[in-house]
């Protein structure tokens, strides 16, 4: 079993690498690689793959899948089937071959591939690590439902789950799990107390207002040490496709707050920052490219090199060139 990570009064299991065939599934970085190639995979499909791999010692039912991946929400048979097929496609399997994922009609599905696990979070002595000492950390609190309709709580909670999933894909960020943050649902919270309770530096809070076929989501990022607002924005959209809208909002929120978090972490750093604003701009552009698409890595590398050319002592650019992009 993996070690536990603890912060404040909460603990979590450490991240795992799952190796099967020539694939590596990284639950912490939320990445699936085949050899050296990083594969594109949707957040919900990734969660389903992790669940199947982690539950490979048993046949899992539809209810098991819905409880784990969809938080118990009701979804159509076609949606469930499409997600399972998406998992199969990303690992080169099919409903006909069932090389890795086997379906037992009327009973459930099971991951049948040979898997090797590697714990990547414990230290050399096997002691539990304090997450706040290793990564900037964030808690996404339950959003407030401003719709005036309690029936919309499921939608609001689902939106928060998608945002948590999107933020979890940021390598350098530790995101508190939903089961810890949702203990604050319906409560008036003090972000400083939340920071102390969960051991996090940042809190994302927000609200959702749904009217007819339109929805508005607002969010704000807060530093728990100072209660200072680092970022705020709002998003408007239609509800023709709820899941597509949730993915869009979650990706937008993650993409918008990542630079704010990065800037805050840069300010916290005791290392020497750059005095060259052009070098800093090049670094931020390269950083965003690196995480947005594997195809943009060469261009991101060139921008990092330009930043270093302008400031050869720019520690962040040097570190990311060596460990992040190169």
Backbone angles phi, psi at 9, to 5 degrees: -100, 10
Count of other CB atoms within 10 angstroms of residue 200? 26
CATH ID of 135-267, from 3.40.50.10610, 3.40.50.620, 3.90.640.10, 3.20.20.240? 3.40.50.10610
- Mean pLDDT confidence for 55-75: 88
Q: Does residue 119 surpass a pLDDT of 60? A: no
**Domain regions of the chain by residue span:** 4-118, 135-267, 277-325
pTM score > 0.85 for this model?
no
The whole-number pLDDT of residue 134 equals 45
247 pLDDT above the threshold of 50: yes
Of the candidates 267, 277, 272, 279, the residue with the CA atom closest to the CA atom of residue 311:
279
Mean pLDDT of 294-304: 78
> Cβ(83)–Cβ(45) under 8 Å?
yes
- Rounded to a whole number of angstroms, the distance between the first and last alpha carbons of the chain is 33
* 261-285: average pLDDT: 62
Q: Do domains 4-118 and 135-267 have the same CATH topology?
A: no
Sign of the alpha-carbon dihedral angle for 289, 290, 293, 294: positive
> 4-118 is classed in which CATH architecture?
Orthogonal Bundle (1.10)
Q: Which helix (H) or strand (E) holds 160?
A: helix 153-167
User: Which pLDDT belongs to residue 12?
Assistant: 37
The mean pLDDT value of the chain amounts to 76
- Give dist(CA 206, CA 105) in Å, integer: 42
Pick the closest to residue 56 from 118, 106, 115, 120 (CA basis): 115
pLDDT at 126 over 70: no
pLDDT in tens, 180-192: 888 888 888 889 8
């Amino acid at each position: 079993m993996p070690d536990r990570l603890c912060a404040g009064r909460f603990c979590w299991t450490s991240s795992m690498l799952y190796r099967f065939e020539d694939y590596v599934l990284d639950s912490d970085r939320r990445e699936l690689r085949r050899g050296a190639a990083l594969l594109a995979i949707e957040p919900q499909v990734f969660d389903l793959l992790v669940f199947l791999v982690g539950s490979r010692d048993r046949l899992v039912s539809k209810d098991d899948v819905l409880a784990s991946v969809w938080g118990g929400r009701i979804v159509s048979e076609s949606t469930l089937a499409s997600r399972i097929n998406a998992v199969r496609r990303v690992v080169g399997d099919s409903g006909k071959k069932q090389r890795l994922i086997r379906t037992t009609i009327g009973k459930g599905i099971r991951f049948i591939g040979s898997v090797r696990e590697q714990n990547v979070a414990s230290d050399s002595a096997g002691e539990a690590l304090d997450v706040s000492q290793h990564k900037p950390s964030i808690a996404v609190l339950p959003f407030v439902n401003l719709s005036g309709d309690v029936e919309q709580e499921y939608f609001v909670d689902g939106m928060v789950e998608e945002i948590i999933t999107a933020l979890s894909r940021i390598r350098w960020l530790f995101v508190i799990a939903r089961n810890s943050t949702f203990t604050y649902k319906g409560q008036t919270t003090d972000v400083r107390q939340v920071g102390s309770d969960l051991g996090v530096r940042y809190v994302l809070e927000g609200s959702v207002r749904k009217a007819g076929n339109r929805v508005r989501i607002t969010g704000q990022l807060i530093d728990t040490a100072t209660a200072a607002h680092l970022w705020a924005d709002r998003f408007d959209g239609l509800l023709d496709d709820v899941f597509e809208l949730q993915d869009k909002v979650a990706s937008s929120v993650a993409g918008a707050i990542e630079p704010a978090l990065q800037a805050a972490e840069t300010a916290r750093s005791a290392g020497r920052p750059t005095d060259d604003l052009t070098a800093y701009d090049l670094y931020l552009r390269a950083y965003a490219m690196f995480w947005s698409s594997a195809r943009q890595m060469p261009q991101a590398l060139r921008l990092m090199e330009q930043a270093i050319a302008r400031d050869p002592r720019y520690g962040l650019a040097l570190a990311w060139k060596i460990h992040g992009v190169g």
